[in-house]
Amino acid sequence: MQAQKSLSKEDIFQKLPVPAALRKMILPAVASQLIVLIYNMADTFFVGQTKDPYMVAATSLILPVFNITLCLAGLAGIGGGSLISRLLGVSKEDEARRVSAFSLYLGLGVAALFSVGIGVFMHPLLNLLGAGANTYEYARQYALCVIVFGGIPTVLSNVLSNLIRSIGLSRQASAGIILGGLLNIVLDPLFMFVLLPKGYEVLGAGIATALSNFIAFLYFVVVLLRLGRNSVVTFSPRVGLPSKSSVFAVFAVGVPSALTTFLFDLDYVIIDKLMTTYHDLAMAAIGVVLKIERFPLNVGIGICQGMMPLVAYSLTAGHEKRMNDTIRYSRRVGLLVAAASILLYELFAAQLSNLFIPDEQTVALASEFLRVRVLATPLMFVSFFTVYLFQAFGKGKIALFLGVTRWLVFNIPMLFVLNGLFGMFGIVWAQVCADALTVALSLVVFKKYRPAFPKQPPVPGQEQNVSLE
């Protein structure tokens, strides 16, 4: 156990040069984000192989509801993980242990309530989502598997991934998510086309997803057992409850994280709905573009996930230079990825679109859409990078302000305004225009509200005058 503590705190958080520490934290996080992106597409891809539009429509109906489980995981995982890193920075390991147990049981509680609620209100929910006579049973089967039975392991896997990363174990945190993603890709065709009879492909996809997430959860349980009884991340209720200020700090960061994730998904839903008012080619083209653009965005999210524990720890430990270097280096890497994606997507938009739908007219339109949407990639990265920074700082109210302003004040209204003025290409340009405003606001807010360090150098072993909340 001592070796684990030394590696996570002293080497990664303190001793390793910032570029090396970020590589150890960021690379596994990026890998897991890309696997998550691929496996999120797996169900849609394999269900699409049935060539049954009702099956495809049913899984699409449930996807936004399933994504809410990821919002719930962010509530407990991001909120708890950010606080744990800050507590470790001031050597409050016992309180960090209590926060980890609280976060895990918080995740379990909200996931259980959500799963039971979906099970009880399944019929009215599916009617609200628009499930008809041809899609209702498929949607019910899929929701029962991935949300009612699979919701708890899905939430807990993501919560544990965030908590384990918060103590410096990014490789172990990401391995569980990667394991679940790869298993889903393998199990989908097995259950859909081999084990279950024809007509039950959607049920097979649901079982594969739920089973994959359950196995990923078991992996994280094994990781905790191997870390030992003295691990900061623990399920044990015997560690007691955290202080009221710690509970508040978990929610102060977790609620903005959950809400901004929800609004991100809502933005995509609105784009789809607005495009349905045009021809089918436009709907198909934007669907392809929204998938392709997620690759650089998910890489950016992985960079932020790897960066956040290092910033949080350095903040409360009083390591101002290390914190600033971490911010600069990770921001630079994210912008380089964004610039590379612009270059590649501008040059190879048609070839990339053709991978998703080999229809000449759709590819031509998707290529036009992609060449516009990709221009927003660096702006989008800076926008959510700033939100992650304030989550690392423990400044949940500012993170909430930036997230809500970005989606409810800039992005979503911009979709309706530009759609009304310029039609479907107005929808495509909305992201660039809205995030230009978001970045301007983010830079002003960051300059004004970034944490201030004491002028005197920190005294080793003493708590710094930097708020944990």
In order along its 469 residues, the chain shows pLDDT tens digits of 343 444 445 578 888 899 998 998 898 888 888 887 777 777 767 777 777 777 877 777 787 788 888 888 888 888 898 899 999 888 899 999 999 999 999 999 999 999 999 999 999 988 887 777 888 888 899 899 999 999 999 999 999 998 998 888 888 888 988 898 889 889 989 998 999 888 888 899 899 999 999 999 999 999 999 988 888 888 888 888 899 999 998 998 888 888 888 888 888 878 877 887 787 677 778 877 888 888 898 899 989 988 999 999 899 888 999 999 999 999 999 999 999 999 999 999 988 888 766 678 888 888 999 999 999 999 999 998 999 999 999 888 899 899 899 999 999 999 999 999 998 899 999 999 999 999 999 999 999 998 877 665 444 334 344 455 5
Distance of CA 273 to the CA centre of its chain: 23
Amino acid occupying residue 258: A
Tell me: do 43 and 131 sit in the same domain.
Answer: yes
Q: Which residue range forms the structural domain that includes residue 192?
A: 18-234
DSSP-derived secondary structure for 280-346? HHHHHHHHHHHHHTHHHHHHHHHHHHHHHHHHHHHHHHT-HHHHHHHHHHHHHHHHHHHHHHHHHHH
| d(C-alpha 76, C-alpha 414), whole Å | 31
pLDDT of residue 280: 67
DSSP state at residue 242: P
pLDDT of residue 73: 87
- Cα(77)–Cα(110) distance, integer angstroms: 12
Answer yes or no: is 64 within a domain.
Answer: yes
Query: What per-residue confidence (pLDDT) applies to 329?
Result: 95
Instruction: Look at residue 459 and tell me if it is in a domain.
Output: no
Together in a domain, 114 and 163: yes
pLDDT at 2: 40
In a domain, 256, yes or no: no
Shared domain check, 208 and 271: no
Let me know: does 104 contact 235? Beta carbons within 8 Å.
yes
Residues 142, 106, single domain; the answer is yes
Q: For residue 325, is it within any domain?
A: yes
Rounded Cα gap, residues 111 and 152, in angstroms: 5
Checking phi first, is residue 441 left (phi over 0); if not, alpha (psi -120 to 50) or beta? alpha
Looking at the structure, tell me whether residues 149 and 270 fall in a common domain: no
388 plus 331 within the same structural domain: yes
Structure tokens at 382: 């800076």
Residue 462 lies in a domain: no
Position 413 scores a pLDDT of: 95
Q: Tell me, yes or no, whether 13 lies in a domain.
A: no
The answer on 278 and 217 residing in a single domain is: no
**Structural domains counted in the chain:** 2
Q: Provide the token pair at 346.
A: 């501008």
Determine the pLDDT at residue 276: 74
Do residues 222 and 366 share a domain?
no
For residues 167 and 306, state if they share a domain: no
Residue 423 covered by a domain:
yes
Nearest to 334 by CA among 12, 8, 26: 26
